[in-house]
Copies of this chain bind each other. A is one copy, B any other.
Amino acid sequence: MKSIGEEIQQSEFSDVYQKLGINILFTAAWFGELNRIALKDYDISLPQYNVLRILRGQKGQPISVAGLCERMIDKSSNASRIVDKLETRKLVSRRICDKDRRQVDVVITEKGFSLLEELDEKVPTFKGMMSKQLSSKDAEALNFALDQIRNK
């Protein structure tokens, strides 16, 4: 099995934290790649997929474009244009919010919902990828450690 050192063919790391940082970046890229490949057949990009999932998580409740931005993994990507693409394909719908006409309410459509259900079958789940190597207790600990890292 390949360790991160073998993977990027670097034998020496200046320290274990350096190695961990690169390992996290590398693992994230690996995840992204697997998902991207799975989504390719459906002509849907990773950020588009993430937006659809966020909308599904809303359980019918609309969310603003700014709200989407906050919840997206890649904050700086352009939610407005991602929603454009999804709307063109009728996977989401968009209407001006009554309460504040600057805002736009975005919701997932029936079509978007059923596409997501189809994708659920194809996209590798984290559970499927990790549960054999990692106990749920270890996963919990890892979650805690990552939360720690992001909060000095």
**Residues of chain A at the chain B interface (Cβ within 8 Å):** 1-4, 7-10, 15-33, 57, 70-71, 73-76, 125-127, 129-134, 136, 138-140, 142-143, 145-152
Knowing A2-B150, A152-B133 touch, does A27 contact B24 (C-beta < 8 A)?
yes
* Oligomeric state, in copies: 2
Contact B4 A130 (CB under 8 A): no
A39 to chain B, nearest CB (A): 14
Cα of A125 to Cα of B70 in the assembled complex, Å: 26
Q: A18-B127, A20-B146, A24-B28 are in contact. List 4 more A-B contacts (CB 8 A).
A: A18-B125, A21-B31, A25-B28, A29-B74
Contact B134 A9 (CB under 8 A): no
List residues of chain B with CB within 8 A of the CB of A147: 1-4, 23
Contact A126 B2 (CB under 8 A): no
Q: Which residue of B lies closest to A138 (CB)?
A: B145
Contact A132 B150 (CB under 8 A): no
Q: Can you list 26 A-B contacts (CB < 8 A)? A: A1-B148, A4-B143, A4-B147, A9-B70, A9-B71, A10-B71, A16-B140, A17-B130, A17-B134, A18-B126, A19-B143, A20-B130, A20-B139, A20-B146, A22-B73, A24-B31, A24-B146, A25-B31, A25-B32, A27-B146, A28-B28, A29-B75, A30-B150, A129-B149, A132-B152, A138-B145
